[in-house]
Structure 1
Amino acid sequence: MKPEKKYSIGVIGLGVFGARHASVCLRHPNFQLVGVVDVRQDLVEKYSKELGVPGFVDYHDLLAMPGIEVVTVATSDQFHHGPCKDAAQKGINIFLEKPIADTSMHAKEIIRDQEAHHIKLMVGHTLRYDPRYVAIKQTMLDGKLGDIIHVYARRNATVTSGRRLQGRVDAMIFQGVHDLDFLQWLTDSRVVKVYAEATSNVLKDLNVNDTTMATLRFENGVIGLLEQSWALPAGVPSALDVELEVVGTEGSAYLDLRSQSISIFSGGKLKQPDLIYELPDQHFLFDEYTHLACYLDGRAEPKISGEEALSALEVAEAIMQSAKTGKPILLPNME
């Protein structure tokens, strides 16, 4: 499905990922990049010159541009709320980087503003576009795994990630929402109970957890284990250690991003698709923007709604609460 219109778009936030968004917007055939914003003047000058568009240090100047239809909010998550609120009030649609917000309270306010001002909101959870994860989801939909029994997800990064963020956010919020959203999407069920343990050693001075392990119980009876860490030594061969395991009554699936391998066992046969090929730079983002354009056209629904993004964040918060209190937490009310 190809979108029919070219949309005027601006990008707020020019950090590592925000700069990628701006680059994709510039190249995407369904969007016209009209401006970029960052609180750092040096980044504004750098990317305004590289991309050939106006740059601002105040996002209100971008929102005031005539004819702007969409903004990508790629700031640090604690700064999502303000730009989203002001964009919604002006009737400007929003593409929001994950996590949807720094807290579930702010996430709910973003969703309320979207509904009140009748704008379109899409949240960027890239695993729903990653062909490796999509292949496992499709295998499940095709019935080749049967009923899911249990799931396991690991996402371990180097200590460099935690140090770069200077303790402003826990790994469970920053990266754990990736896997929490995917697992709820995969199982088509919400997490209703969590129990977690966490430790802090190499990042103790930042008052942030190094590693968190959590057990999950889903509403449909599936159980899961989630591992999230910023404790890998800097300089390890693979800066991101990611695994996924799905076990069902009729088959199982395994994903290992260190070896770039995927294995699917079903019907007594083992299938290992070839995933070692070069992908276009920032291809997941490009696919997200294609889907965003279709959503704006009214010919597709967002792959992840604001409510689904909120749910992943709420589970992450419950895991952090459990790790802090040492007690199991029930959702959605965390009572």
Structure 2
Amino acid sequence: MHRLRAGVVGVGSFGSLHARAYFENPSTELVAVADVDQARSVEVARRYGAKSYTDYEEMYRSERLDLVSVATPDNLHVNPAVKAAEAGIHILVEKPIAMTLEDADRIISSAARNGVKLMVNFILRFDPRYRAAYERVSSGGIGEVVTMWGRRTTLLETARKYGKFSNLLHDVIIHDIDMFNLMSLSEPTQAYCVKVRKACRELGVDDAYLGIVRYRNGAAASFETSWVLPSSSPHWLDARLHIVGTGGAIYIDLQSHGLEVVEDVKFSRPDLSNWPVVGGRLMGNLREAVNHFVECVAGDKEPWPGGADARKALAVVLALSESAETERPVALG
């Protein structure tokens, strides 16, 4: 069986998981990774028997890749993705697709022009709970969607790590924005948002956002997001989604993953959803997303979600950001 030749650009915390997913997938051969941090590139490459590069363009020229994951920092997705498309390599880019609509359009148009597949990694679409909720909503199981509410709060150390090149809207709550867009079965028309800055003032980023998104079919979504939880929190992520319809409701709660561990000095709720390692193998939503991308490339199918859905989520995020600055609602569409 022909195995697809896979590469990864950016092998930090997320990119190294992509590398592992390709390494463990029987349909792919992880042939190379690239990272500007040479030591990190070498370490991940050695772990999975791949070649190490510090220049992704050199990797593209040398390795005849079939597909690549772009897992660089949020503000550095554009050039690796565009260059991959120009080299004829299918692309899986971590969310957000980009920081601006102009850059998102560059990636989308380059992929289309060069005939390569483009997927953006919104891993909640591969969580069985969110997927089951979407199937119930889209089949009319709870009637017409009336309201949606989402919470996504995480640790202060996340702000210290990711606030250097991104923000809560682009990096964290965009997951729920994508879910709102999907579950609404409609198009966003207006966004309103307020921000709070206290604990993260010295970092130069906001602590929290609270917002509302309205949809063309009359549905409305509200959310709260922050990254100020202390390191002593029993969970690194408190995520929930409520959907109320004219004929029912759906509730998703990821505060507990069904496993609680009590030790002498610690109580924890390990993540069993996103990228847990169980039995020596990577499991969870991220693995399923990577496997879906591989299946689409191998079977010549369109990946889900593609560039259009990622652009829509980004447009809402940018409208929310503008609203938080101006303290006024912002129209969409």
Same fold (TM over 0.5): yes
Matched, 1:78 2:75: yes
Where 1:102 maps in the other structure, the secondary structure is: coil
Kept in 2, the 8 Å contact 1:20–1:282? The answer is no
- Report the equivalent of 2:128: 131
- 1:45–1:167 distance in 2 versus 1, CA, 3 Å: closer
Match for residue 253 of structure 1 among 250, 253, 266: 250
- Report the equivalent of 1:107: 104
State the Cα distance separating 1:5 from its structure 2 match: 5.0
Kept in 2, the 8 Å contact 1:100–1:310? The answer is yes
- Report the equivalent of 2:266: none
- Report the equivalent of 2:175: 178
Write the deviation string for residues 145-194 of structure 1: whole angstroms up to 9, x where unpaired.
11110000110111111011244211010011111111111122221101
Query: What runs of 5+ residues in structure 2 fail to find an aligned partner?
Result: 259-271
Match for residue 94 of structure 1 among 88, 91, 95: 91
Kept in 2, the 8 Å contact 1:196–1:212? The answer is yes
- 1:254–1:5 distance in 2 versus 1, CA, 3 Å: farther
| CA distance in 2 between partners of 1:211 and 1:252 (Å) | 27
State the Cα distance separating 1:28 from its structure 2 match: 0.3
- 1:279–1:61 distance in 2 versus 1, CA, 3 Å: closer
State the Cα distance separating 1:118 from its structure 2 match: 1.4
Write the deviation string for residues 1-38 of structure 1: whole angstroms up to 9, x where unpaired.
xxx85211100101101000001100101111110111
- The residue identity in structure 2 corresponding to 1:38 is D
The correspondence of residues 144-223 of structure 1 with structure 2, limited to 5 A, is 144-223=141-220
| CA distance in 2 between partners of 1:234 and 1:167 (Å) | 19
- Report the equivalent of 2:267: none
Matched, 1:303 2:304: yes
- 1:254–1:121 distance in 2 versus 1, CA, 3 Å: same
| CA distance in 1 between partners of 2:41 and 2:235 (Å) | 32
- Give the number of aligned pairs: 316
Match for residue 223 of structure 2 among 221, 226, 246: 226
Kept in 1, the 8 Å contact 2:31–2:63? The answer is no
Where 1:119 maps in the other structure, the secondary structure is: coil
Kept in 2, the 8 Å contact 1:5–1:297? The answer is no
- Report the equivalent of 1:312: 313
| CA distance in 2 between partners of 1:284 and 1:166 (Å) | 24
Kept in 1, the 8 Å contact 2:192–2:213? The answer is yes
Over the matched positions of the two proteins, sequence identity in percent amounts to 31
- Report the equivalent of 2:114: 117
Q: Provide the aligned C-alpha RMSD in A.
A: 1.9
Kept in 2, the 8 Å contact 1:291–1:300? The answer is no
| CA distance in 1 between partners of 2:332 and 2:140 (Å) | 29
- The residue identity in structure 2 corresponding to 1:319 is L
- Report the equivalent of 2:38: 41
Matched, 1:69 2:70: no
- The residue identity in structure 2 corresponding to 1:296 is V
| CA distance in 1 between partners of 2:292 and 2:155 (Å) | 32
| CA distance in 1 between partners of 2:300 and 2:101 (Å) | 29
The correspondence of residues 51-66 of structure 1 with structure 2, limited to 5 A, is 51-66=48-63
- 1:297–1:51 distance in 2 versus 1, CA, 3 Å: closer
Kept in 2, the 8 Å contact 1:5–1:293? The answer is no
| CA distance in 2 between partners of 1:258 and 1:48 (Å) | 34
Kept in 1, the 8 Å contact 2:60–2:84? The answer is yes
TM-score between the two structures when normalised by the length of structure 2: 0.90
- The residue identity in structure 1 corresponding to 2:20 is S
Where 1:151 maps in the other structure, the secondary structure is: strand
- Report the equivalent of 1:321: 322
Kept in 2, the 8 Å contact 1:84–1:110? The answer is yes
- Report the equivalent of 1:269: none
- 1:74–1:141 distance in 2 versus 1, CA, 3 Å: same
Write the deviation string for residues 178-232 of structure 1: whole angstroms up to 9, x where unpaired.
1111111112222110111101000011221100000110121101101111122
